[in-house]
Structure 1
Amino acid sequence: MSIAVDRVPAGPGPEIPPPAGQRHGQEGLVRMTALPPVATMGTALHSTGHDLLERLRPGRVFMMGDNPALPRMPQRPSLADFFRLRLEPFTARHMLHSARRAREQGLDETVVLACLLHDIAVGGLLRSHHGHWGAQMVEPYVTEEVAWAIRQHEILRFFPDPAVGYDYPEAYRTFFGARYSPPDHVREAYRHVRAHRWYMTARLVTLNDLYTFDSDEDIDVGEFEDVIGRHFRQPEQGLGFDGSPVAHMWRTMIWPNNFL
């Protein structure tokens, strides 16, 4: 079933607190969330528009605004807020460990920041083409080189480079099968990336993009507060509210269950 129901108490009972300074206008109603088609097509979870509309009836609405099942985001969310309150914890730890590894090797902070952000789309938005989505999300706030490295690490992960000690990930054999081969458009993209002046920046991301780490080890984005402060242009209005071309992507992570 593709719809989860969050029950907001009706009548005199307690209500889910609205966002600061506004009310979601759905108090006292059963609020339903609908999974996006891009996440469900080809699966048993997929619902058509007709399926969704059949669930509407008096007292039931599709969710808009805060989902009480998620932590409340601050009014002007920072990058650190997304790490702590929205990104899937496994992926957030993975990126933090990647950034820590890069810093321990004494790599440039350009690489450290790219490692810190390389899978941000996986953790909060989409897996498919995650490097491209992630690069687009952060492009207004980082240097062109950092965004490029995030975008292209997605391509480089599939291609070994013995000269720098990078092998095809053993994890990919498990994820995709031992005989998997990337499609032609990925191979063509690799040829362009390999010849680019920033190739090594993206390659260093893949060298630190490891799938093995101690998930119980205490690590927090605050460890990279200095790097973020120097190299991430945090908007004063908060991510999602600065009017940038990608603000909608951050708002999607703030309110991932909005029907529209």
Structure 2
Amino acid sequence: MDSHDLRRAGYQDVPDEAGGRAGRSWWDANAREYVEEHGDFLGEDDFCWGPEGLREVDAQLLGPTQSLVGRRVLEVGAGAAQCGRWLASRGVDVVSTDVSARMLAEGAAMNRRTGRAVPLVQADARALPFEDSSVDVAFSAYGAIPFVPDAIAVHTEVARVLRPGGRWVFSVTHPVRWAFPDDPSVRGLTATRSYFDRRPYAETDETGVVTYAEYHRTVGDHVRDVVAAGLTLVDLVEPEWPASNGETWGGWSPVRGTVLPGTAIFVCRA
């Protein structure tokens, strides 16, 4: 959205319903731009957990990749399904879901270019169109959770579709980052707001319509949501910024990444 179309942007209270549905329209409007800007870093069939560049091929947070063959894997908030495509290239039975039709269209184009036809399903992560206990592993790399006011609804749906003992792994902006300006320079190293201020970052247009909303939760909030959904937290991974990564992505950069955690990855079990 052009800046002149914005009436207000910042940390503010917005109605949950309005904030929750803004994600679909925002990602529809910005899908092409997002893929063009971050495509080289993400690849078309690679599994990246966040801006630090931690790859699943190294982290194995879903378990040894070979052990996923023959099991049912669900990607939630897939974007263009780069992660799902990487798994499919290794023989994993994976379905990738996202709320945005335009992001899935980008994914379909990548399917054609790579020759790896990952099934793509449009779905709100809070209402997954899958049967109870039908999935062995579910994951989300920066998808869904940050963009809904009721993350517990996502966890509850994932818990519903997971088989007993199934794994749920999701990455989000590290909660501590919300106390600091979203600035990749040294200015982003000084806290300017309370970590406990849970107002979302939101943008509204000239008519007052919420066009973007991203939600902050403390570490404790995330843990309580997971537990309330009936899941067990088994690990919390905070990737360090590698010296080899010179990428700047929004507020993520080597300047900040060597000092402050940027991503939190929650590993859970049903």
Question: Which interval holds the TM-score relative to the shorter structure?
Answer: under 0.3
Bigger proportion of residues as helix = 1
